[in-house]
Structure 1
Amino acid sequence: MRAFFVIMVLALGGLWAAAALHVPAQANHPTVLVIDGDTLLVDRHVVQLAGIDAPEWDQTCRHHDNDWSCGQSSAYALSKQIALNHNLDIDCVPAGARSGSPVRSCWLKNEDLSLTMIQQGHAVALPEAPQHFHFAESQARRASLGMWGSQFDFPDLWRIRNARRTDCAFKGVTDADGVRRYASPLMPGYDAVEAATTFCSDDAARAAGWHALGEALDLPGGGSGLD
Structure 2
Amino acid sequence: MRPLFGRLFFGALASVLAGAVAVAAGPREIVGLAIVQDDGSLLIKGESIELFGIYLPDAGRQCSTRQRPVRCASRAVLALDFRVRGFVTCEPRARSAEGMTQAVCYVDRTGLSPGEDLGAYLIQRGWALALPNAPFEYHAMERIARANARGVWGTVVDSVSPP
Q: Give the TM-score normalised by the residue count of structure 2.
A: 0.63
Query: Judging changes above 3 Å, is the alpha-carbon distance between structure 1 residues 127 and 4 closer, same or farther for their aligned structure 2 residues?
Result: closer
Q: For residues 162-177 of structure 1, what are the structure 2 equivalents within 5 Å?
A: none
Q: Which residue number corresponds to residue 14 of structure 2? A: none
> Using the alignment, how far apart are the partners of 2:84 and 2:95 within structure 1?
22
Partner of 2:90, secondary structure, is: strand
> Using the alignment, how far apart are the partners of 2:134 and 2:31 within structure 1?
24
CA contact (8 A) 2:40 2:50 kept: yes
Partner of 1:136, secondary structure, is: helix
* Amino acid paired to 1:54: L
Deviations 1:115-170 (A, max 9, x none): 11100111111111111100000000111111110255xxxxxxxxxxxxxxxxxx
Q: For residues 1-227 of structure 1, what are the structure 2 equivalents within 5 Å?
A: 1-7=27-33, 32-36=34-38, 38-56=40-58, 60=60, 69=62, 72-83=74-85, 86=86, 89-98=87-96, 99-109=98-108, 110-151=115-156
> Using the alignment, how far apart are the partners of 2:102 and 2:56 within structure 1?
14
After TM superposition, which residue ranges in structure 1, 4 or more long, deviate above 3 angstroms?
68-71
CA contact (8 A) 1:95 1:104 kept: yes
Q: Which residue number corresponds to residue 19 of structure 2? A: none
> Using the alignment, how far apart are the partners of 1:142 and 1:134 within structure 2?
12
Is the helix fraction higher in 1 or 2? 2
CA contact (8 A) 2:48 2:101 kept: yes
CA contact (8 A) 2:104 2:117 kept: yes
Q: Give the TM-score normalised by the residue count of structure 1.
A: 0.47
Greater Rg, structure 1 or structure 2? 2
> Using the alignment, how far apart are the partners of 2:84 and 2:39 within structure 1?
12
Q: Once the two structures are aligned, what percentage of the paired residues are identical? A: 30
Query: Judging changes above 3 Å, is the alpha-carbon distance between structure 1 residues 4 and 97 closer, same or farther for their aligned structure 2 residues?
Result: closer
CA contact (8 A) 2:32 2:44 kept: no
Query: Judging changes above 3 Å, is the alpha-carbon distance between structure 1 residues 42 and 6 closer, same or farther for their aligned structure 2 residues?
Result: closer
Report how many residues are paired: 116
Is the strand fraction higher in 1 or 2? 1
5+ residue gaps, structure 2: 1-26, 64-72, 109-114, 158-163
5+ residue gaps, structure 1: 8-31, 61-67, 153-227
Q: Which residue number corresponds to residue 220 of structure 1? A: none
> What is the aligned-residue RMSD (CA, Å)?
2.3
